[in-house]
């Protein structure tokens, strides 16, 4: 996996509102005529090219400078794990 995270973290991300935004980006690439695999790779490349800035770091507790996709996959995975341990 491009983010270097567990599959459960990726699932948690895709189930989150951040994952919905990622899916919207994949859809945008599909609408531009790219095949599904290429659309997914284009969205990954785009999200990995962005970095977590000061405000996002402050709001979500994700370290500054991480690639956006990695930061939010890890963040969602941590939230999911915390929710499971509280049950």
The per-residue pLDDT for 46 is 97
Give me the residue label for tokens 């090219």.
49
Give the chain's radius of gyration (CA, Å). 13
Give the chain's length: 87
SS3 label, residue 51: strand
User: Which residue(s) pair with 67 in the sheet?
Assistant: 51
Report the predicted TM-score, pTM, of the whole model to 2 decimal places. 0.90
Give mean pLDDT, residues 33-52. Answer: 98
Between 3 and 29, whose confidence is greater? 29
Does the structure show a pLDDT above 90 at 77? yes
What is the token pair recorded at 87? Answer: 């049950």
């Amino acid at each position: 996996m491009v983010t270097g995270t567990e599959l459960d973290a990726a699932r948690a991300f895709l189930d989150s509102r951040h994952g919905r935004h990622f899916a919207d980006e994949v859809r945008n690439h599909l609408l531009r005529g790219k095949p599904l695999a290429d659309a997914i790779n284009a969205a990954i490349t785009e999200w990995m090219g962005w970095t977590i800035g000061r405000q996002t770091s402050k709001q979500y507790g994700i370290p500054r400078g991480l690639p956006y996709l990695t930061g939010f996959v890890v963040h969602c995975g941590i939230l999911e794990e915390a929710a499971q341990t509280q049950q």
